[in-house]
Amino acid sequence: MLWKLLLLNLVMFVAFRGTTSQYLPVPQPEPQPPGPSSGCAADIVFIVDDSSSILGPRFGLALQFIIDFLQCFTDQDIGIGVILYNCVPRTGIPLGMYTISNPGLPFAISNLTQEGGLSRTGHALSFMTDTSKFRTGIPRTAILLSDGFPQSDANAQAMDDYEAQAEAARDAGIDLYAVGVGAAGLVNWDVLETITGSSDRVFRSDNPCRVAFRILADLCASAAEVGCLYNGLIIRVGEEYKPDDCTWCTCPAAGEEPVCYIQDCAAPYCDDPVKVAGQCCRSCDPPPGCLHNGAIIPVGEQYRAPDGCSWCHCEADGAQAICAAVGCAFSSACVNHVRYAGECCPVCPACCLGCQHGDGIVPLGASFQEDPCTTCHCYGGHMACAVVACAAPPCANPVHVPGQCCPVCIGCDHQDGIILVDKDYKVNDCMTCSCPAAGQQPICSTASCMAPACDPSEYTKVAGQCCPVCQAEAPPGCLHNGAIIPVGEQYRAPDDCTECNCYEAGVAPACIAILCPAPACPNPVDVAGQCCPVCREIVATGDYGTM
């Protein structure tokens, strides 16, 4: 047994001595924060305008926006509530009933119905602030989906205190965002900006994830507001921090300046006082110890630097202090590391794990569509995006369908414009063309005429008809470009932008030129049979009523 005890002592001796024959201390390791985990939480209430100014399809798009918004998160703890409003607000989905991971939430959202009526946005904001059951200690967010037009009086003066109620919501700690859901050109962006307090918190409705990622970025940035900022460090509320041996700092409240006190030292009674590590005032009777950075570390004591990144230990009087440093690991998946006062290693706050993308943060593992052609994925803190390569469509004037990546053919190319599928086009009074399928050649046919039972000198052309008739059989009307327009009828040649009406036989028809407004797009297309060029998006959706 004796040799075992000797061997044990030898092992301990070797373990505690370095190559310089100095005893190495065993510093107590700094408690490390847990590894990166989500821990990201927020309560989000959608305030949805269901007044009559939001047309039915737009209300449906607003609900779909919320459903798509849910897919932008991964493992974040997000509570969802929905408030609907017109002149009176009402709770559609209470906050706390669902989180984004609940499979029943999309169904509940899709079942919400529109009532119509006037719009009182300020009343809805007040209702949200007063009735939403936000969780204690969890960030609060509200997203307004509206066209931004509040209820007004006969003089177009707003009858709604939306500005004051928005300020009250922000004062209650609720971050406000807004999404314009009105038709193109029918969104009051100024009102939405007034409600949110910032233009960069107002979004269009085409990309829900852009809103979600911006909220995560704001939650990440607010992590630095949980205490007081001191030289790049955060002092937690109620905690004390010593940046040096003579200074004490405390944080009275989040976001405020720290309160610091500097200790006064009496004049020493000796000519050469000595600095003792960890003590503010110099000592005329220093203890035996190791000199380190101009200060004495007493024998047997361990001294920790104010930054928390190194420990020093003194084994014997006059010896060299033995020091050890802390190694910190950094996560490449953290957008914003934060360092707390007194702790050596920075930590990654909740909601900061992900990939920086524009002014937003994409959660780890999340995939989203940047645009109809680009899909991006956040992996390990790095964004990877794939772009769809579109094959050339088999037509000269392809169109972009909203929400689709690649341009498509919506008809057959013709010298007079695009012939839409299943739409007959009269090239002239005798030739008709049709489009059997998008991207194919049009099929054209010409009518055949039998000779009228009269002398050719008596042939008469009737506007809109292919075959001539005898003068005796021609209807009474107005002569125009060698053809008769019957009384009471309107005629426009397929390749002409002039409409003519015959009101009295034997006189010239009344003709007016069709004036085409400037197209609201850079590259309009010609549709066969229509005078004015139209935007490709309008052609694709078939919405000719907005021209």
pLDDT in tens, 53-83: 898 789 999 999 999 999 999 989 999 999 9
Q: Quick check: is 169 in a domain?
A: yes
Tell me the residue type at 342: G
Give the C-alpha separation, 151 to 450, whole Å: 67
Give the C-alpha separation, 252 to 16, whole Å: 44
Tell me if the pTM is above 0.75: no
Give the C-alpha separation, 254 to 459, whole Å: 95
Q: What is the pLDDT of residue 23?
A: 33
For residues 323-361, one letter each, b for 16 or more C-beta atoms within 10 angstroms of the residue's C-beta and e for the rest, the string is: beebeeeebebbbbebbbbbbbbbbbbbbbbbbbbeebb
Tell me the residue type at 143: I
pLDDT in tens, 363-389: 998 999 888 899 999 988 889 999 999
Whichever domain contains 139, its CATH number is 3.40.50.410
Do 243 and 163 lie in one domain? The reply is no
Do 428 and 513 lie in one domain? The reply is yes
Domain boundary among 206, 238, 264: 206
DSSP letter (8 states) at residue 369: E
Do 193 and 294 lie in one domain? The reply is no
Do 187 and 248 lie in one domain? The reply is no
Do 301 and 437 lie in one domain? The reply is no
Contacts of 104 (CB under 8 A, 6+ apart): 98
Q: How far is CA 211 from CA 84, 206, 251, 440, in A?
A: 20, 10, 33, 42
Q: Quick check: is 251 in a domain?
A: yes
Do 61 and 199 lie in one domain? The reply is yes
Do 198 and 317 lie in one domain? The reply is no
pLDDT in tens, 149-208: 876 655 555 568 899 999 999 999 999 999 999 776 789 999 999 999 999 999 999 899
Q: Quick check: is 476 in a domain?
A: yes
